[in-house]
Amino acid sequence: MVRNIKPAKSLVVAFLASILVVLSVPFVASAGSSALTARGVTATSAVWSVVARPVGATTTSGALAIDWSVNKGTPFAFVELVNVGTVDLVGQSFTVTTIASTSGSTKLPSLTFEACVNGSWNTATSTCSGTITVMGSVSTGTFASPVGLSTGRFLGIRIVSSGNPGSNFRSTISATVSRTQIRPNSTINT
C-alpha cells in the first residue's frame, strides 16, 4: 500500500500557519493600543516662581517697592507672596535693597519678615489667625526663608521695620526660587 503524504503535510503546514496568525493578532492589537496611549502623553516643563505683591493686588512681576515714613512706634507693612509656578515650594529667597529717602546719615533699618502660616493677617489689628513664623531679617541683602508655599497659593507676610522716628526710606523687595527650594519628589527633568 502506498500512501500519499503531500496532502497531509500541506494540511499540517496550513494548520500551524493559522495558529500563528490567530496568536499574533492579540499582540498586534495590544501594541497598537500602547502606541495610542503613548501618543496621548504630554510633556511639560516645571516652572518655579514667586511674586511679592501688596495685599489683595493682582499678581505682577518684578520687584515690590515700599516707601517707609517713620513717625512713631514700630512701622510695619503687609504684603503677600504668591506661588505663580507649577510646583510646590519648601522655601524662597528674598533680596532687599533699602535706601534712605532723607539726606544726612540715616541708619538703615533692619526689616524682619514674618509669615502668618496656616492663617491670615488682620491688617487692622496686626494679628495673625495662624502661627507667626520669622522668615528672616535684613536691611540690605539676601536671605533664604524655609517657609513652604503650594502652587497657586499665597502667604501673608508682615514686614516689621526697626526704623527710627523721623526717618524715611525705600525698600525694594524681590522674591526668587532656586531648584533646591522645590518640594522633594517633584519630577523635574532637565
CATH number of the domain within which 79 lies:
2.60.120
Residues 156 and 82 in one domain: yes
pLDDT in tens, the chain (190 residues): 555 555 556 555 555 555 544 444 443 333 333 333 445 556 567 778 888 888 888 877 788 999 988 777 788 999 999 888 888 888 899 999 999 887 655 778 899 999 999 999 999 999 999 999 999 999 899 999 988 888 889 899 999 998 777 788 999 999 888 887 777 664 444 4
Residues 58 and 151 in one domain: yes
pTM summary value? 0.70
What are the residues whose beta carbons fall under 8 Å from the beta carbon of 47, sequence distance 6 or more? 85, 86, 87
Q: Provide the number of structural domains found in the chain.
A: 2
* Residue 188 resides in a domain: no
Residues 27 and 64 in one domain: no
What are the residues whose beta carbons fall under 8 Å from the beta carbon of 178, sequence distance 6 or more? 48, 93
**Structure confidence at residue 34 (pLDDT):** 34
How many CB atoms within 10 Å of residue 167? 20
**Structure confidence at residue 163 (pLDDT):** 77
* Residue 24 resides in a domain: yes
Cα–Cα nearest to 84, from 37, 149, 19: 149
The full length of the chain comes to 190
Residues 163 and 125 in one domain: yes
**Structure confidence at residue 104 (pLDDT):** 56
Residues 33 and 118 in one domain: no
The Cα 62–Cα 49 span in angstroms is: 11
Domain assignment of residue 7, given as a range: 1-43
**510633556: which residue's cell?**
43
Q: For 170, phi and psi rounded to 5 degrees?
A: -125, 135
Residues 33 and 61 in one domain: no
**Structure confidence at residue 173 (pLDDT):** 93
* Residue 189 resides in a domain: no
The Cα 140–Cα 95 span in angstroms is: 8
Asked if residues 93 and 175 have their Cβ atoms less than 8 Å apart, the reply is yes
Residues 103 and 26 in one domain: no
